Amino acid sequence: MARTYKYTVDCGFTETQRIFYEENGYILFKKLVPEGDIDICHQRFLDVCNGKVKVFTVMRDKTLRDKGETRGEYLVNKIQELLEDDVFYDYYAAHPRVVEVIKNIIGPNVTAIHSMLINKPPHSNTQHSTHPIHQDMFYFPFKPADKIVGSWTAMEKINVENGGLYVLPGTHKGPLFPHGNSEDCSNEFYHGVRGFDHLPKLHLTMDKGDALFFHPHLLHGSSPNMSKNFRKAISVHYADSNCTFINTKGTVQERMAMDFEKLVNEKFGVTWDYINFFKMKSRLISGKPGKIQSMDSHL
């Protein structure tokens, strides 16, 4: 009987690669992004840390700040909304080698919907640099999940000691679970699931330029940085441009969407709809624009 594929399209993957992603919910490519391109992104990150370049979201590790740390790269633990920045766009989000893999998973019409660079400075507080087990889909108000994929690329050597990523293979086949704040993690913006600690974690060891691609239902997280070095990774999530927005009301995502809107209101004094926030920050990468671009596509 012919095999049916649910999570990939018939494009450039070999059958072995396709089956691997279908069964495990992730695929890792060694040395996908050339080191020189990673170096350009690293320099851009330093420029953001030093205030030379602006991106919309810059988060600092408050536990390091409380210890008196003031140096940018030693303090900034995450920057987001990188897609408006031409350097991050050209050298990572729209990188032909990254986009080629994305198209093999979700097809030719690709919109980048979320972007971040996560830095774990040395001497980070264990609880603050842990990312609890979660599913990225929790944050995304679109469907279908099978037409969304995350990319996560190591900007330096990454392993379990310095805060590397782990995955729970095959869990992408499950539903989206409720998430909440986690005891393992003191970062209020990171949500996690409970009840999966008994499942085996696969800790990934990655070199600079190695890229992981994963389904948004795949359970994953990252360990604390216990090393004396930095741990940096750049990540962009992509959706088929014909994904549609969902109404989060009554779903496990409702609370998170409401918390976001409350936070933005408190911090910036503006009223923002969670879905409009995604529309504002997404950017077409390849192929035709679709429903995700249209202002009246939701609800």
Ligand X SMILES: O=C(O)CCC(=O)C(=O)O
Q: Is the dihedral of CA 40, 43, 47, 48 positive or negative?
A: positive
The C-alpha atoms of residue 247 and residue 235 are separated, in whole angstroms, by 26
Smallest separation, CB 172 to Fe ion (Å): 12
Judged by beta carbon distances under 5 to 8 A according to partner kind, the member of Fe ion, ligand X, none in contact with residue 141 is none
**Residue 131 is a binding residue for ligand X (CB under 6 A):** yes
Question: For ligand X, which is the closer residue by CB, 13 or 26?
Answer: 26
User: Quick check: 141 and 281 in contact, CB under 8 A?
Assistant: no
Smallest separation, CB 114 to ligand X (Å): 9
Q: Restricting to residues 77-136, which ones interact with Fe ion according to CB under 5 A?
A: 136
Q: Restricting to residues 237-296, which ones interact with ligand X according to CB under 6 A?
A: none
Q: Restricting to residues 161-180, which ones interact with ligand X according to CB under 6 A?
A: 165
Amino acid at 59: M
Number of residues that bind Fe ion (CB under 5 A): 1
The C-alpha atoms of residue 267 and residue 221 are separated, in whole angstroms, by 27
Ordered DSSP codes for 160-184: TTBT-EEE-TTGGGS-PPP-EE-TT
In 3D, which of 129, 179, 185, 135 has the Cα closest to residue 26? 135
Smallest separation, CB 167 to ligand X (Å): 10
Among 119, 225, 235, 282, binds ligand X (CB under 6 A): 235
How many CA atoms, within 13 angstroms, populate the side-chain half-sphere of residue 276?
7
Question: For ligand X, which is the closer residue by CB, 8 or 222?
Answer: 222
Binding-site ranges for ligand X (CB under 6 A): 118, 131, 136, 150, 152, 165, 220, 222, 233, 235
- Interface with Fe ion by CB under 5 A: which residues? 136
